């Protein structure tokens, strides 16, 4: 996977020298961060053998509520806290429905995707929310908020990328170094075997959904801070598929038990670099979509084709 990314980078470097500029690379880093943060959470959910389709709606709802609270002159930390809590609460509901509620997570989160989107529409009355001083926001709060979304650390690294890196590192630590991470793999590998080993299967899955919700909320707020406006009917629509695609290209499996944070990061970068490269090369947006779709099929297909050969041997 890494090799594929490198080959792609070298090719793009040859094709359009502008690709390899620090500026462009950081730009890619910023562009992929929002999807990337959520893909880290999706990795947990996919490994535990579930899926979350509601992330786009959580992303929109958490961001919009946070924005409304900022406009209502709440202190920034409180508004952000509420946004994160909304994300975690939504994740908890997803988790409860998919475990104790006995629903397949595909259905549970498909429903929640609609419910949360509806709540966001109700709260905003379908109107766009724009975060600026003319709407009544406190100037100092706004400065900090803007910095989180648009600023650059040391005037170089985009803050969104900084968040992505932090989330990725923490995610990697949790997934590969903690007992919880072990449980996620065990539960996804075989929930029955995990249960017989004394692992609380439902709790583990609910935690995975909560992490996903938390990160979707975080991502939604950062994205609002970047833009800085959003609309309940449009923000984050269809994002869940980009997120799932990135994790899957990175090696996570819909049938659970497989996936790594490193792989997901590569998946995110492959799609991000590809998109950026296609733009730089001036390829039409229609072709861009087609090519990205083919790459997803190819990436997952290659993995399956090689692993099916492995299985034939085991038989």
Partner 1 sequence: MDTEAAPIVELKNISKRFPGVQALDNVSLTVFPGEIHALIGENGAGKSTLMNILAGELQPDGGEIAFAGKPCTIQNPFVSQQMGISVVYQELALCPNLTIAENVSLNRAATTPGIALLNRRKFSERARSVLATLGLDDVDTATPVSMLSVAQQQLVEIAKAISGKVKVLVLDEPNSALTPDETSHLFEVLRRLRDAGVGIIYVSHRLEEVLQLSDRITVLRDGKYIDTVPAAAATVDGLIARMVGRAVETLYHRSGALTAGDETVLRISTLTSTKAVLGVSFAVRSGEVVGIAGLPDSGKDELVEACFGLRPYSGDIEVMGKPAKLHSPDAAIERGIAFIPADRRRVGALLVMSVRDNVVAASLDEVSTAGLLRPNAMRALSQDYVNKLDVRIASLGQEMATLSGGNQQKVILARGMATQPHVLILHEPTRGIDVGAKAEIYRILQDLATGGVGVLIASSELPELIGQCDRILVMHQGRLTGEFTRSDAAEEPILACAMGQATHFWRIALSIQISRRLRRK
What residues make contact with partner 1 under the rule CB under 8 A? 177-183, 185-186, 189-190, 192-200, 257-258, 313-315
Alpha-carbon distance of 195 to 104, in angstroms, equals 18
What is the four-CA torsion angle of 102, 104, 108, 113, rounded to 10 degrees? 170
Pick left, alpha or beta for residue 220 (phi over 0 → left; psi -120 to 50 → alpha; otherwise beta). alpha
Closer CB to partner 1, 152 or 195, in the complex: 195
- Determine the Cα–Cα distance for residues 83 and 247; give it in Å rounded to an integer: 24
Shortest distance in whole angstroms from residue 204 CB to partner 1: 11
Task: Assign 3-class secondary structure to 61-104.
Answer: HHHHHHHHHHHCCCCHHHHHHHHHHHHHHHHHHHHHHHCCCCCC
Q: Smaller CB distance to partner 1: residue 252 or 278?
A: 252
Residue with tokens 């475990």: 99
CB of residue 176 to partner 1, shortest distance in Å: 8
Minimum Å gap between C-beta 306 and partner 1 is 13
153: β partners: 157
Residue placing its CB nearer to partner 1 in the complex, 66 or 300:
300
CB 46 to partner 1: min, Å: 13
Q: Across-strand partners of 129?
A: 230
d(CA 68, CA 61): 11
Q: Which is nearer to partner 1, 99 or 124 (CB)?
A: 99
Closest CB to partner 1 among 187 and 239? Answer: 187
User: In the complex with partner 1, which residue's Cβ is closer, 51 or 268?
Assistant: 51
| 157 phi, psi to nearest 5 deg | -85, 125
**Three-class DSSP category at 153:** strand
Minimum Å gap between C-beta 206 and partner 1 is 15
In angstroms, give the least distance from the CB of 192 to partner 1: 4
């Amino acid at each position: 996977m890494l090799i594929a990314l490198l080959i792609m980078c070298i090719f793009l470097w040859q094709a359009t020298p502008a690709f390899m500029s620090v500026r462009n690379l950081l730009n890619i880093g910023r562009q992929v961060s929002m999807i990337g943060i959520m893909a880290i959470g999706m990795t947990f959910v996919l490994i535990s053998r579930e899926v979350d389709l509601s992330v786009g709606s959580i992303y929109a709802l958490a961001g919009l509520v946070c924005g409304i609270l900022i406009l209502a002159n709440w202190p920034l930390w409180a508004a952000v806290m509420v946004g994160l809590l909304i994300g975690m609460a939504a994740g908890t509901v997803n988790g409860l429905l998919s475990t104790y509620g006995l629903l397949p997570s595909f259905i549970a989160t498909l429903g929640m995707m609609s419910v949360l989107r509806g709540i966001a529409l109700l709260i905003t009355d379908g109107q766009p929310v724009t975060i600026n001083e003319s709407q009544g926001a406190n100037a100092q709060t706004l400065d900090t908020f803007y910095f989180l979304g648009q600023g650059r650390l040391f005037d170089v690294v985009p803050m969104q990328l900084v968040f992505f890196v932090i989330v990725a590192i923490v995610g990697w630590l949790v997934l590969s170094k903690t007992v919880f991470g072990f449980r996620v793999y065990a539960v996804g590998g075989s929930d029955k075997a995990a249960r017989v080993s004394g692992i609380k299967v439902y709790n583990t899955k609910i935690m995975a959904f909560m992490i996903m919700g938390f990160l979707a909320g975080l991502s939604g707020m950062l994205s609002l801070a970047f833009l800085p406006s959003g609309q309940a009917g449009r923000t984050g629509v269809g994002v869940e598929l980009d997120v799932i695609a990135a994790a899957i290209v990175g090696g996570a499996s819909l049938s659970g038990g497989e996936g790594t944070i490193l792989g997901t990061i590569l998946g995110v970068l492959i799609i991000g670099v590809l998109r950026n490269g296609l733009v730089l090369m001036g390829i039409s947006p229609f072709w861009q979509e087609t090519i990205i779709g083919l790459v997803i099929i190819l990436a997952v297909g290659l993995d399956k084709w090689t692993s099916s050969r492995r299985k034939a041997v085991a038989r």
